Amino acid sequence: MSLPYIAQAADHQRLEWIGGGVMNVLLDAEATDGQLVVLRSLLTGGSAAPVHVHSEEDEMFVMLKGKGIFWVGKDRYELSSGGVVFLPRNIPHAYRFTSESVDLLTMCTPAGIEGFFRSAGWDLSRPKPEGWALTPESMRTAAVHYGQQILGAPLGADDFIPAELLGTRPLTE
């Protein structure tokens, strides 16, 4: 059974994420009885996710501020402030932000993907060890445990997801 959940901005867990940006965990599985995850990320231009696929959740983005490119399967889309992207599970996708900064809202159903972000990112409430970095390998390791598969490196602005990655099926546990 879901219970009401209320939190102030200072209560949100903050994670260092791609490109040194900050991801705020607004709602997680615990707060929503496993139904929904909501994240708000403040990221820098040039930040990019590798080509990947989710097997356990659908993912939605709302570009509150900024611009970016989203690849969904064989297609490439440019998104600006106020734009929305829906990424159903089992479809390879990636993104790259092209504006100087981005304010992005991410929603995933059902919950659970926050474990990936917590595992790969760094909880900013703790001192960060010297030399810590979010790397492709740390993302790949975390992805395997949370129903995701990293398929390839981040794409350049004019690239498309390679055809050989489009038929890839996600790992399931």
CATH number at residue 20: 2.60.120.10
Under 8 Å between Cβ of 97 and 47: yes
Q: Look at residue 3 in the predicted model and tell me its pLDDT.
A: 80
Distance, in Å, from the CA atom of 47 to the CA atom of 61, rounded to the nearest integer, reads 15
Asked whether the predicted pLDDT for residue 29 surpasses 50, the reply is: yes
Per-residue pLDDT tens for 39-50?
999 999 999 999
Q: Is the pTM of this model over 0.75?
A: yes
Q: Look at residue 169 in the predicted model and tell me its pLDDT.
A: 57
Domain assignment present for 56: yes
Domain count, the chain: 1
Radius of gyration, CA atoms only, the chain: 15
Distance, in Å, from the CA atom of 154 to the CA atom of 89, rounded to the nearest integer, reads 19
Under 8 Å between Cβ of 79 and 71: no
For 132, how many CA atoms within 13 A lie in the half-sphere containing its CB? 15
Q: Look at residue 168 in the predicted model and tell me its pLDDT.
A: 64
Domain assignment present for 1: no
Domain assignment present for 120: yes
User: In which band, very low, low, confident or very high, does the pLDDT at 172 lie, cut at 50, 70 and 90?
Assistant: very low
Distance, in Å, from the CA atom of 146 to the CA atom of 160, rounded to the nearest integer, reads 25
Domain assignment present for 141: yes
Domain assignment present for 117: yes
Domain encompassing residue 79: 12-153
Per-residue pLDDT tens for 132-158?
999 999 999 999 999 999 999 999 999
Asked whether the predicted pLDDT for residue 173 surpasses 50, the reply is: no
Domain assignment present for 161: no
Domain assignment present for 102: yes
Domain assignment present for 116: yes
Per-residue pLDDT tens for 47-102?
999 999 999 999 999 999 999 999 999 999 999 999 999 999 999 999 999 999 99
Distance, in Å, from the CA atom of 122 to the CA atom of 105, rounded to the nearest integer, reads 19
